[in-house]
């Protein structure tokens, strides 16, 4: 099995909160229905949003409470971009937007070539002024790492202020590939699974996240 060097491990933020782990276990079960799976993705993505934004910069503004005026911290939600890797990344959006409703949303269309397992881009649309924004890339699975690398390659051309990557499940091979290309981008995930099978799926994993979210298999 691929092992991670200390520098790569340092960029992996393992979200081990008991509620997150509980919901991930329910998602892994093969008999979980499409409806339940979709609801669990919504719930767990909202929880991940709290962890991912933990060290986001804040600034203070003057507000008035019922008793007096005070200075209080806020993040600038309008400066956050949720970049969804289609199609499965869209399953993350609603839960994230519940927590960060002012965030802008971008989309990256990628599919994995079944023979080479390389990512092929077919769509890319981001908000304006990306150089002023913090990006959170959303994809439930970081498997081979090829799609994640391609997405961040493309985003870096726009020179955003920062980039973070969020996924439900990943594995050592995918993390190594991603870190080799983008050592400056942290990965937030509830689980680093054992590895990949011969078809490039994470094992034990949770199956094809897109198919399970949208009920297409």
| Burial (CB count within 10 angstroms: exposed 0-12, middle 13-18, buried 19+), residue 115 | exposed
- Whole-angstrom Cα distance, residue 21 to residue 5? 25
Quote the domain boundaries for residue 172. Answer: 11-55+78-214
The count of structural domains within the chain is: 1
Whether residue 155 lies inside any domain: the answer is yes
Whether residue 72 lies inside any domain: the answer is no
Tokens representing 115 are 């023979």
- List, as own/partner pairs, every contact residues 86-89 make where C-beta atoms lie below 8 angstroms and the sequence separation is at least 24, other chains included: 86/110, 86/123, 87/210, 87/214, 88/139, 88/140, 88/141, 88/209, 88/210, 88/213, 89/137, 89/138, 89/139, 89/140
26-67 confidence digits (pLDDT tens) = 999 999 999 999 999 999 999 999 999 988 888 899 999 999
Whether residue 6 lies inside any domain: the answer is no
What pTM, to 2 d.p., does this model score?
0.89
Question: What CATH number did the domain enclosing 122 receive?
Answer: 3.40.50.2020
Whether residue 34 lies inside any domain: the answer is yes
């Amino acid at each position: 099995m691929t092992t991670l060097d200390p520098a790569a491990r340092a960029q992996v933020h393992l979200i081990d909160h008991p509620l997150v782990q509980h919901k991930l276990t329910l998602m892994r079960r093969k008999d979980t229905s499409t409806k339940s799976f979709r609801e669990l993705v919504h719930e767990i993505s909202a929880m991940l949003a709290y962890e991912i934004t933990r060290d986001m910069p804040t600034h203070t503004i003057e507000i008035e409470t019922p008793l007096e005026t005070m200075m209080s911290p806020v993040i600038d939600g309008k400066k956050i971009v949720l970049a969804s890797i289609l199609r499965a990344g869209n399953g993350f959006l609603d839960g994230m937007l519940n927590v960060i409703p002012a965030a802008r949303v971008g989309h990256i269309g990628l599919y994995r070539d079944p023979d080479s397992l390389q990512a092929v881009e077919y769509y890319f649309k981001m908000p304006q002024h990306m150089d002023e924004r913090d990006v959170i890339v959303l994809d439930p699975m970081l498997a081979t790492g090829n799609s994640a690398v391609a997405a961040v390659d493309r985003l870096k051309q726009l020179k955003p202020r920062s980039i973070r990557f969020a996924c439900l499940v990943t594995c050592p091979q995918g993390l190594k590939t991603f870190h080799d290309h983008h050592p400056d981008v942290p990965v937030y995930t509830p689980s680093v699974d054992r590895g990949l099978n011969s078809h490039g799926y994470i094992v034990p994993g949770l199956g094809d996240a897109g198919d399970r979210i949208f009920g297409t298999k």
